[in-house]
Amino acid sequence: MPAILRLIIGWFFSPRPILGAALTSVFVVSAIGVAYSAHETRNMYRDLQRLEKSHDDLEHEYEKLLLEQSAWADYTRLNELAFKELEMQAPETEDMVVLR
């Protein structure tokens, strides 16, 4: 085996290049992990924004339904329905019985 080849093989398998290769691979894996983490963070933030918009839309719809419910349950409207559709009327004074 020629001397230069032995020198190259000896240098390649010495502790210094192995340590360099190990550190380089650790840095590459770390960089890939940081990029993946940033990508996932952006995806989760986008999903959070969608869910918050959906929550706000549902909250607005709920407020509208509460207003509508209070409008339908208004005493004046119920009184009007009782008189017109159910033909109800207030009892006469002589028909009332007071219990003590």
Residue range 3-59, pLDDT digits in tens = 877 777 777 777 777 787 888 999 999 999 999 999 999 999 999 999 999 999 999
Q: Is the pTM of this model over 0.75?
A: no
Residue 62 lies in a domain: yes
Domain count, the chain: 1
Residue 82 lies in a domain: yes
| Domain housing 30 | 3-87
Q: Report CA-CA distances (Å) from 91 to 38, 76, 85, 88, 99.
A: 74, 18, 17, 9, 16
Most distant CA atoms of the chain, gap in Å: 130
Residue 44 lies in a domain: yes
Supply the pLDDT for residue 65: 95
Residue 19 lies in a domain: yes
Residue 56 lies in a domain: yes
Residue 100 lies in a domain: no
